[in-house]
Copies of this chain bind each other. A is one copy, B any other.
Amino acid sequence: MLGDFMYSNPTRLYFGEHAMDNLKTELANYGPKVQLVYGGGSIKKNGIYDQVTKILQECGKTVFEDGGVMPNPTTEKLYEGCKIAKDNGVDLILAVGGGSVCDYSKAVSISAYCEEDPWDKYYLRMEDVDNKIIPVGCVLTMVGTGSEMNGGSVITNHEQKLKIGHVFGDNVFPKFSILNPVFTYTLPKYQMTSGCYDIMSHILEQYFSGTDDNTSDYIMEGLLKSLIHSWEIAMQDPENYEARSNIMWTATWALNTLIAMGKSTDWMVHMLGQAVGAYTDATHGMTLSAVSMAYYRHILPYGLEKFKRYAIHVWDVNPAGKSDMAIAEEGLQAMEAYMKRMGLVMNLRALGVTEDMLEGIAKATFVMDGGYKVLEKEEIMQILQESM
């Protein structure tokens, strides 16, 4: 646990099949005007919209609808949401959906009363919030992003061709989140396995950083083993409550700051994946899986000790009589085989990337310095080529 840090996470989580029963109690803590945020309308098909609006009605709330949040919420949508929030003086923003809906709700919560362009102030310049913040509550219907218990909010500005994520402080975290694993049963397999790899990547990108002996690494190994175990079960049996609930809980703790404590953290796979995402319409988790193996094989020599530990602790590689390098490589092979078995996309070509895009993707890749190797531009090109 080297380095000084602060840990604070005030979000109240209600977890389980009956988690929604707690919405009424939480709603009582806020005034009558609720901005109801959701995405493309799947919640209207699966009944969650009806459940939530019935409870809002029973609590005597006035509802201001704010649907149609897109997978990558835009500045245009943000400005619209701010207008709804400010014009009506809403008391609570209730996000019903996955990571995008939660991210967008947090953006509205800090932007509605911002006196200048919130994109400039809170995303481009990444300033701390100094205006009124509207409280946010979440009803989670998809897993992966951890947005239900953190300060992260990613917004895309199409005009400027920029997608920026700001990780805000604990004053921006959702006040409460409702997590019912059953809500995730109906997610298509492609989306589900993509979300699971997003979770795995969140953990790995914090794990593969630092050379110290850190309790956070041990917690991460536990989370990884639980995820690997439950993901495989959920792929075979999508309505296995136990597996779904373990995945949902792991997703939350993979990105709610706990496991980052004392770690420098890397995030290069996300940087590469996001640049790929800007050039294709590929699903986020698949942009990560497509570049991961080439990236990890590239940095392995710089973080050999950790890759060896990963092989033994997470993939149960037997180290007897093998060189460190052989152990580490066997770990990555086990990971790769598992990823293929889970149906992940393992190369960029399958996501629609063509050779002529690579230069642009490399240029759009933001270079982080918390991992085992600060990448040069040629190394990024090499990783992208190896991922084709």
Residues in A lying within 8 Å of B, measured CB to CB: 1-19, 22, 170, 181, 212-215, 217-223, 225-226, 229-230, 241-243, 245-246, 248-250, 253, 261-262
Rounded to whole Å, the gap between the CB of A46 and the closest CB of chain B is 20
- In the complex, are the beta carbons of A17 and B1 less than 8 A apart? no
B-side contacts of A3, CB under 8 Å: 16
- In the complex, are the beta carbons of A246 and B15 less than 8 A apart? no
| A170 nearest in chain B by CB position | B12
**The 8 nearest A-B residue pairs measured at CB:** A4-B16, A222-B222, A218-B222, A1-B245, A218-B226, A8-B12, A215-B226, A7-B13
| A245 nearest in chain B by CB position | B1
- In the complex, are the beta carbons of A10 and B10 less than 8 A apart? yes
Contacting A5 at CB < 8 Å: which of B7, B16, B181, B261? Answer: B16
Tell me the complex Cα distance, A12–B230, Å. Answer: 32
- In the complex, are the beta carbons of A215 and B219 less than 8 A apart? no
- Known contacts: A242-B1, A250-B215. The answer to whether A15 contacts B10 by CB under 8 A is no
| A219 nearest in chain B by CB position | B222
- In the complex, are the beta carbons of B15 and A8 less than 8 A apart? no
- In the complex, are the beta carbons of B16 and A246 less than 8 A apart? no
Copies in the complex: 2
B-side contacts of A261, CB under 8 Å: 15, 249
B-side contacts of A1, CB under 8 Å: 15-16, 181, 242, 245-246, 248-249
B-side contacts of A242, CB under 8 Å: 1-2, 212-213
Rounded to whole Å, the gap between the CB of A371 and the closest CB of chain B is 20
Contacting A15 at CB < 8 Å: which of B5, B17, B217, B245? Answer: B5
Tell me the complex Cα distance, A250–B16, Å. Answer: 26
- In the complex, are the beta carbons of A218 and B223 less than 8 A apart? yes
Tell me the complex Cα distance, A22–B226, Å. Answer: 36
Tell me the complex Cα distance, A253–B262, Å. Answer: 15
Q: Can you list 25 pairs linking A and B with CB atoms under 8 Å apart?
A: A1-B15, A1-B249, A3-B16, A4-B14, A4-B15, A5-B15, A6-B12, A6-B13, A6-B22, A7-B13, A8-B11, A8-B13, A9-B9, A15-B262, A213-B242, A213-B243, A215-B223, A215-B246, A215-B249, A218-B223, A218-B226, A219-B222, A219-B253, A221-B225, A249-B261
- In the complex, are the beta carbons of A15 and B7 less than 8 A apart? yes
B-side contacts of A10, CB under 8 Å: 8, 10
Give 10 new A-B contacts, CB below 8 A, not counting A1-B246, A15-B262, A222-B223.
A1-B15, A4-B16, A5-B15, A7-B15, A213-B242, A213-B243, A219-B226, A219-B253, A221-B225, A222-B222
Tell me the complex Cα distance, A9–B222, Å. Answer: 21
Rounded to whole Å, the gap between the CB of A15 and the closest CB of chain B is 5
Tell me the complex Cα distance, A375–B262, Å. Answer: 42
Rounded to whole Å, the gap between the CB of A176 and the closest CB of chain B is 9
Tell me the complex Cα distance, A188–B226, Å. Answer: 38
Residue with the highest number of chain B CB atoms closer than 10 Å, among A5, A15, A215, A242: A215
Tell me the complex Cα distance, A250–B216, Å. Answer: 9
Tell me the complex Cα distance, A6–B17, Å. Answer: 12
| A22 nearest in chain B by CB position | B6
- In the complex, are the beta carbons of A213 and B4 less than 8 A apart? no
